[in-house]
Amino acid sequence: MKKSHTLTLITALTALLTSCNSDATQHSGMSLIQKSDPDPIILDEKTEKDHKLVASIKKDVAKFDELYDVAVIKGEEEILVAYKVKHMQRFHMVKIEGEINKMLEEKYPKENFIVSSDYKIFLEAVELNDKMKNPDFSEEDAKKNLEEIIKLKKELT
């Protein structure tokens, strides 16, 4: 067989497997393996009322004992609620998502929610949370970032 070709292939493979492992910070990186419990975030004008709202949302969602670790992000229109389901409960993930939606709709009729149990969404939420800590990460960027997350969630097949 032709050595040169196979070499290129191997390098290609290794390149693929080792590429761009920079853009996941320690905190978010660990957030899949262990409970990270991020604080709720608010992306538009942060009134006392908003703070209460997101805190209570987080609390209410966390009440479901099928799941652990809840992240809440309040954008202008939508509120993103991402959570992790205890493994043995993953069979019922669809049902759980339904129940949470229902609960939120009833309890906070004014808000419109985007609920996801997807690791990726949670991961993004936590990353966004980290980025917020950085002062030169503007509110605009944050909002763009949230839109992207929501787009991700929408394209779930």
Q: For binding to another protein (CB under 8 A), which residues are involved?
A: 1-2, 5-6, 9-10, 13, 16-17, 19-21, 23-24, 29, 32-33, 87, 90-94, 118-121, 123, 148, 152-153, 155-157
Residue with smaller CB distance to another protein, 88 or 140: 88
How far is CA 40 from each of CA 46, 80, 100, 104, rounded to the nearest angstrom? 12, 10, 17, 16
Report the nearest approach of another protein to the CB of residue 14 (Å).
Answer: 12
Q: Is 65 exposed, middle or buried (0-12, 13-18, 19+ CB in 10 A)?
A: exposed
Distance CA 123, CA 89 (A): 20
Report the nearest approach of another protein to the CB of residue 63 (Å).
Answer: 22
Residue with smaller CB distance to another protein, 63 or 90: 90
Report the nearest approach of another protein to the CB of residue 155 (Å).
Answer: 7
Contact 63, 103 (CB under 8 A): no
